[in-house]
Structure 1
Amino acid sequence: MNKTIIFGASGQLGQCFRKIAADQNIDSLIFPDETEANILDGDALEKLFEKHSPNYAVNCAAYTAVDKAEDDADTALKINKTGVENIARLAAKYSTTLVQVSTDFVFKGDVSSPLTENDKTEPISVYGQTKLDGELVIPNLTDKYFVVRTAWLYSEFGNNFVKTMLKFGAERDELKIIADQVGTPTYAMDLADAILTIIESGSAEYGIYHYSNEGVASWYDFTKAIFDIAGLQTRVLPIPTSDYVTRAVRPPYSVMSKLKIKKTFGINIPYWRESLALCISKLKQ
């Protein structure tokens, strides 16, 4: 496999790459520590690229605290735009292909059919805007890049919705969950596998791609499935977004079309509920 540096190796997606590398004995994935791979430290990054001369750089590092970003826009912009700029510049210098992980939050979510890579971007939160800003700097710096947008990410690693709901479900008799925001839960292990497929292909079909699991769900549907699979009896009540006010506005519809990534790379994408069952079985172990 091509030599690949994983930025954000301690985060949720980064840990999925680590697990795959360990399980499959892949020694071409490089997991530098945070001080060595601080995406805001240009000198440290240069040393890293000089040391490894990677074929690929996967950027999983991001400011992802959606609500906090509304009051911490400068930090979010530094990490989600300036950090990407730093990596892209060095990727161009060292002839490295960049894989940038992005988000469904670049869309407004006011549509009713799956979003394609060509659909208009119109973020409605600081987080979404900073992630889009990060996407937009890349083509100005390098031609060799893949932007992979994903959504509703969870896994057995880090903090995420599935682990939070399992905790609440074990502690509470009843939960009220939003039922009018629709998207697709995405197992981060599946996303990591898809990115590795892109890397293994050696393809020069550069550009923006969408990846999430197959199917559609509301947060209410997602929660019900978590409890059903985990065997929890917690009652789940559907509520509208207006009953649960958050600091940042979320896209009401963020189902993405995966036709492009499936056609280009021949990727078979699992149904979201099947991947959820797999994750919960691993968490129980």
Structure 2
Amino acid sequence: MSRILITGISGQVGHELLRSLAGLGELFPTTRAELDLSGDPQGITQALERIRPDIIVNPAAYTAVDRAEQDEAAAFAVNADAPAILADWAAAHSALLVHYSTDYVFNGEGERAWTEQDPTAPQSVYGRSKLAGEEAIRESACRHLILRTSWVFGIHGANFLKTILRLGQERNTLSVVNDQIGAPASASLIADVTAQLLQRYLDGGAADFPYGTYHLAPLGETSWHGYAVYLLRRAAAQGYALSLAPDAILGIPSSAYPLPAKRPANSRLCCDKLRQAFGVALPSWQAEVDKALSQLPAANQAGGTPSASRKETGQ
């Protein structure tokens, strides 16, 4: 039975991985207290030597996009230095490393969905730190899967979906940016696709497995404003008691909501490579939002602050 180490299980994706990877092997889930990727590199190596995983799944990340602008060292420690350590250990022990990255590695311009072959040009400390982590993994030559995601949400943890639900019950007016385009990806989708890829790896063996970097996002696209409107319309249809009418949400440009870190205007991700390599069938972003709403109890609708919700990868 394969030994599977999962980092960051307190995060959105880590929480879902506990569910999706159950049955694929012997799981070794770790919190930050048990495996601190921001801490002493020797401590990371010691944990790896103690667990001796065959597969390392690393959703842990520094995702405080705005705080990273003033705390670059911390962002790079978690997003770049720690993945490098994991990758070097994986290379030395013939282990597989599954790592999650982000659309922030691109410059965020244009209107075409980003492919894996497009040049990277991150515009924030967060994006640069995530790209550095990717590069360290590739340079290690370890067996790896790097899955780039965007606009992550889920029923666990603070995120845009839960914040909008809360504000929809508390306010009668709300402004949301309408010039940033992407596709909301649920943590459960990311975890389920990860399980599908790992099952392929375990069934087929290491020799012929299509390692590499892949984009993972649901079908379709929307703006944050369109996302919020759709979410509250569906919530109202499911009986949520709202004080905010969905059509009353005002769309505003990013310039009206300045933040320390630059957000991508274009977060579209082309997932053709993933579908062709693994035969993955991806749902629409609307279906993922509907599923999350159906799973979220009315008593558990508290979310994070609006500023925190603008980057909710939960990796």
Please tell me the TM-score bracket, short chain as reference.
Answer: over 0.9
Alpha-carbon distance, 1:95 to partner = 1.4
Where 2:138 maps in the other structure, the secondary structure is helix
Q: 1:30 corresponds to which residue?
A: 28
Where 1:75 maps in the other structure, the secondary structure is helix
Of 239, 263, 266, 1:250 maps to: 263
Q: Distance in 1 between matches of 2:139 and 2:113?
A: 28
Q: Distance in 2 between matches of 1:179 and 1:191?
A: 25
Q: Distance in 1 between matches of 2:10 and 2:30?
A: 9
Q: Distance in 2 between matches of 1:177 and 1:33?
A: 33
Percent identity, aligned pairs only, is: 34
Tell me which of the two structures has the higher relative contact order, counting C-alpha pairs closer than 8 angstroms and 6 or more residues apart.
2
2:148–2:215 CA contact under 8 A, matched in 1? yes
Alpha-carbon distance, 1:74 to partner = 1.1
The one-letter amino acid of 2:294's match is: S
Q: Distance in 1 between matches of 2:100 and 2:50?
A: 24
Structure 2 gaps, min length 5:
202-207, 237-241, 299-315
Alpha-carbon distance, 1:140 to partner = 2.0
TM-score normalized by the length of structure 2? 0.86
Q: 2:7 corresponds to which residue?
A: 7
Q: 1:165 corresponds to which residue?
A: 164
After the TM superposition, which residues 238-277 of structure 1 pair with which residues of structure 2 at under 5 Å, given as runs? 238-277=251-290
Of 225, 229, 236, 1:224 maps to: 229
**195-204 or 95-104: which moved more?**
195-204
TM-score normalized by the length of structure 1? 0.94
Q: Distance in 2 between matches of 1:53 and 1:266?
A: 31
Where 2:296 maps in the other structure, the secondary structure is helix
Q: 2:217 corresponds to which residue?
A: 212
1:144–1:204 CA contact under 8 A, matched in 2? no
Q: 1:121 corresponds to which residue?
A: 120
2:149–2:216 CA contact under 8 A, matched in 1? yes
Partner deviation per Cα, 1:166-189 (whole Å, 9 max, x = no partner): 111110001111001000100110
Q: Distance in 1 between matches of 2:19 and 2:294?
A: 16
Alpha-carbon distance, 1:36 to partner = 2.8
Alpha-carbon distance, 1:105 to partner = 0.5
1:210–1:256 CA contact under 8 A, matched in 2? yes
Q: Distance in 2 between matches of 1:165 and 1:115?
A: 27
Asked whether 1:45 is paired with 2:44, we answer yes
Q: Distance in 2 between matches of 1:212 and 1:199?
A: 18
The one-letter amino acid of 2:122's match is: P
2:175–2:252 CA contact under 8 A, matched in 1? yes
Asked whether 1:101 is paired with 2:100, we answer yes
The aligned length equals: 283
Alpha-carbon distance, 1:56 to partner = 1.1
Alpha-carbon distance, 1:50 to partner = 2.8
Structure 1 gaps, min length 5:
none
Where 1:87 maps in the other structure, the secondary structure is helix
Alpha-carbon distance, 1:132 to partner = 0.4
Note the aligned Cα RMSD (angstroms): 1.6
Alpha-carbon distance, 1:52 to partner = 3.1
**105-114 or 227-236: which moved more?**
227-236
Partner deviation per Cα, 1:119-166 (whole Å, 9 max, x = no partner): 010101110111001111112223311110000000001111001111
Runs of 4+ in structure 1 off by over 3 angstroms are: 24-27, 40-44
After the TM superposition, which residues 140-151 of structure 1 pair with which residues of structure 2 at under 5 Å, given as runs? 140-151=139-150
Alpha-carbon distance, 1:27 to partner = 5.3
